[in-house]
Amino acid sequence: MAAVTRPNVVTNAAARTKYVNGVKLLKAELPGPTTNSLGIPGPSKKVSTYDLFIVWHHVAMSTLTPPSQSDRNAAHRGPVFLPWHRFMLRQLELNLQRVLNDNTFGLPYWDWAADGQLSAAAQKTAPIWQPGAFGGQGNPVSTGPFTSAQFLVKIEANSSGNLVQTNHGLRRAFAINGATTLPRRSNTVGALAQAAYDQAPWNSTSSRFRNYVEGWNPNLGLHNRVHVWIGGDMLPSTSPNDPIFFMNHCNVDRIWEAWMLKPGGPGRVYVPNDAAPVSLKGHRLHDTLTSLLSGSTTPADMLNLTSLYVYDSLVV
């Protein structure tokens, strides 16, 4: 099968419609796991395929690597941030292809730096937030395809960081949690200018490309800034509750691909390698990704997936 093309979700209405429909199908699909089997208290209820991605992400964020430290976890604040989420995106893409019965479907991305070029006020009403796209902000969101009548948050993290059952509409609160604007083109250009993938101490204080695009150094950059700017259900460890989560991460993945392929750039490289200390287990080149679904997959396996998908543009 030929590689699928991942398009811009704002400019490709057909892909946007398919994504929304596919998310709703996965939200309605109840494959078997129950809340109790996943350790979530309360009445035992079946968990949807879509909500399993939420649980998956939360568990990874709650798994410190190694357990003795308090910063780097199984999917964030360390080198594995990009390959871990690349694997997650691909699993969602495959599930969307399945429920849509369309093996040509490519997961769209949201080029948030394009919206970041708008004024602060205009960013809140950009095309992505129109009723015909993802709807706008609100508690709950009252426009678009993810209103309470169509889409409900069923599992979330409480203030103690534990998964709980809930039943409320999707929430967004733009630009009130510390990020007043989205990232700009100058920020993505700054990410591409980074010469190395990552470096010691391999956590949220590291400099270089991975941490620049993740958004810890400089603080509240790129990926992190998007989460914080959107707010609401995009803030906690259960942030995949908002379907825009995957559009954000698909764009992050696109930036990673652009960085690897830039003229005179590093190519498909990753550090740390296997000679790094065991304290970096889960983040080294051939370590198994630490997650519920990844099996034997390693960061090395995620460096080149062009046989499976390509982006319609690598201009970031």
User: Cα dist. 145→105, 228, 260 in Å?
Assistant: 19, 22, 35
- pLDDT average, residue stretch 11-22: 98
Q: Could you give the domains of the chain? A: 4-119+178-311 (1.10.1280.10)
pTM of the predicted model, to two decimals?
Answer: 0.97
pLDDT score recorded for residue 70: 67
pLDDT score recorded for residue 68: 66
Residue 307 has φ and ψ, to the nearest 5°, of -75, -15
- pLDDT average, residue stretch 217-224: 96
- pLDDT average, residue stretch 99-116: 98
- pLDDT average, residue stretch 142-157: 98
Helix (H) or strand (E) holding 166: strand 163-169
CA distance linking residue 134 with residue 124, whole number of Å: 12
> 283 is written with which tokens?
């983040």
**Any idea what DSSP says for residue 289?**
P
- pLDDT average, residue stretch 295-300: 93
pLDDT score recorded for residue 295: 80
- pLDDT average, residue stretch 115-137: 98
pLDDT band at 69 (very low <50, low <70, confident <90, very high): low
CA atoms within 13 A on the CB side of 218: 8
Q: What's the pLDDT tens digit per position in 71-105?
A: 899 999 999 999 999 999 999 999 999 999 999 99
Residue type, 211: N
Residue type, 22: G
User: Cα dist. 235→47, 177, 239, 265 in Å?
Assistant: 22, 9, 6, 33
Across 231-312, the runs of DSSP E, i.e. the strands, are: 309-311
- pLDDT average, residue stretch 17-46: 96
